[in-house]
Amino acid sequence: MSKTEARASVFFRPPAGRLQRAENSPTTMTLGAAFPCLGARSEPYRWAAAGTARRSVGKGRFMRGVVPTFSAMPDWLAMVLVAAAYCLVNWLGQQALMLELDMDSVVWPQPGFALVAMLLLGWRVWPGLLLGALLSEAWRWRGALDGMHGLSPVLGVALGVLAQTLFGVWLVRRHFGRRNPLDNFSQCVAFCVIVVAMTLIGSLIATTSLCLTHALPQKEWVSRLGLWWLCSSCGTLLFGSVCLNLYHQGWRLPDREVRYEMLAYFGMVALLTAGIFVWWHPTVDTTYPLDMLVLPLVAWAAFRFTTREVLLALLLILWLALWGTRHGGGPYLGYSAYSTLIILQTYIGILTVVSLGVSALVAEQRKVKLELNQQQELLEQQVRIRTLALEQSHAEVLALSRVDPVTGIANRRSFEESLEGEWRRARRLGTSLGMLMIDIDFFKLYNDHYGHVSGDYCLREVAQAIRSSVRRPQDLVARYGGEEIVCLLPDTTSEGVAYVGEAVLDAVRDLQLPHVGSVAAPYVTISIGGANVQPREVADSRQLIEAADREMYRAKQSGRNRIIVAGMDLPEADDA
> Which residues does the annotation mark as catalytic?
483
Q: Are 305 and 346 in contact (CB under 8 A)?
A: no
Q: Are 65 and 83 in contact (CB under 8 A)?
A: no
Q: Are 511 and 461 in contact (CB under 8 A)?
A: yes
CA dihedral (542, 545, 551, 556) positive or negative: negative
Q: What is the 3-state secondary structure (H, E, C) of 362-377?
A: HHHHHHHHHHHHHHHH
- DSSP structure class, residue 98: B
**Position 29: which residue type?**
M
Strands 563-565 and 484-490: unpaired
Full DSSP string of 473-519: TT-EEEEEETTEEEEEEET--HHHHHHHHHHHHHHHHHH--B-TT-S
Q: Are 141 and 150 in contact (CB under 8 A)?
A: yes
Full DSSP string of 292-351: GGHHHHHHHHHHHS-HHHHHHHHHHHHHHHHHHHHTT-STTTTS-HHHHHHHHHHHHHHH
Alpha carbons 376 and 152: distance in angstroms, whole number: 63
Contact residues for 296 (Cβ-Cβ < 8 A; gap 6+): none
Helix (H) or strand (E) holding 352: helix 337-401
**Overall residue count recorded for the chain in this entry:** 576
Phi then psi for 520, rounded to 5 degrees?
A: -85, -35
Helices (H) and strands (E) in the chain, counts: 20, 5
